[in-house]
Structure 1
Amino acid sequence: MINYLLFQAGWFACVLGGNQIAMATAVIILFIHLLWIGSWHQEKQILALTFLLGCAIDSFLGNMEILQFHTDDGGRILPLWLACLWLIFATTLRHSLDWSRTHKLYGAILGFFGGPLSYLAGSKMSDVTLAQPLWQTLMILAIIWALVIPILQLFSQAWLNKAKN
């Protein structure tokens, strides 16, 4: 429950607070997570992979103008606060979202609905714009997220299995 609440607080801080608050929030949440909830030794791969994959996905969507970032670099690279969200999200995979590791279909359904809704809510509160027509953008995000959660959980399971050996 603490992991879920930290993610929710982090989501709002990153979306509403901008880059500096997002960076401070991500550091604090990661510190709390690794000190009391998770373990760097057990989670470093999934944290790194999720962060890098998420940044690549959102940067790609930005370059395709599906997500429009209103940043100083012309919107070519995702804003720091959005990258911080990916790191905070990564902390949930082995904790509040661990159930999606063994129930991948439910994880895909969560991604299909939760991913686009998160972007939609974030776009209402930040400097990110979703491309029009909106239904197409939401469908693209739904498909991506329906794949992202199960794929990340496959990697998580593989690393857990490797650690047992």
Structure 2
Amino acid sequence: MFVAGRIDAADKIAFYRELAAQYGALIDGERDAIANAANLSALIYDAVPDLNWAGFYFRRAQGELVLGPFQGKVACVRIAVGKGVCGSAVAEGRSMLVPDVHAFPGHIACDSASRSELVLPLWRDGEIVGVLDLDSPLPGRFDADDQAGLEALAAIYVRGSDGSFGL
């Protein structure tokens, strides 16, 4: 049985390196994309301080993102590509680090307590198959170290999971 160890968050680079090692051990031998997404959202939500939401949206052929496994309050089920922070990350093909969601044009407020957001595209074979989305009730919660560490976790998730992810 996998048991997550407590990680010291003082050194973010070391924190995310250890979180990646824990996640790699957690999904070792498991290739199911939904199971791996569920465990990654739970691991992040439990380990990363000051979050109020962590989870996935998967891209569908109709040009929208559909809610996947997550931790936190209930969420928007469908987001059009190009809309909100998640849809913008897909449309622009890049991670979106938003220090103040209220200043982001077209922000979709699924939880009014969210103040900052980090959205990371999930790349498979040159296409974005979904996003990993993190929200915080603190303005400016995320920085470049968070982005790099979570991009690495997103890459481990995609490499370690089978399936079309909905496309």
TM-score (norm: length of structure 1): 0.31
Which structure's residues are more often helix, by fraction?
1
TM-score (norm: length of structure 2): 0.31
Structure with bigger gyration radius? 1
Which structure's residues are more often strand, by fraction?
2
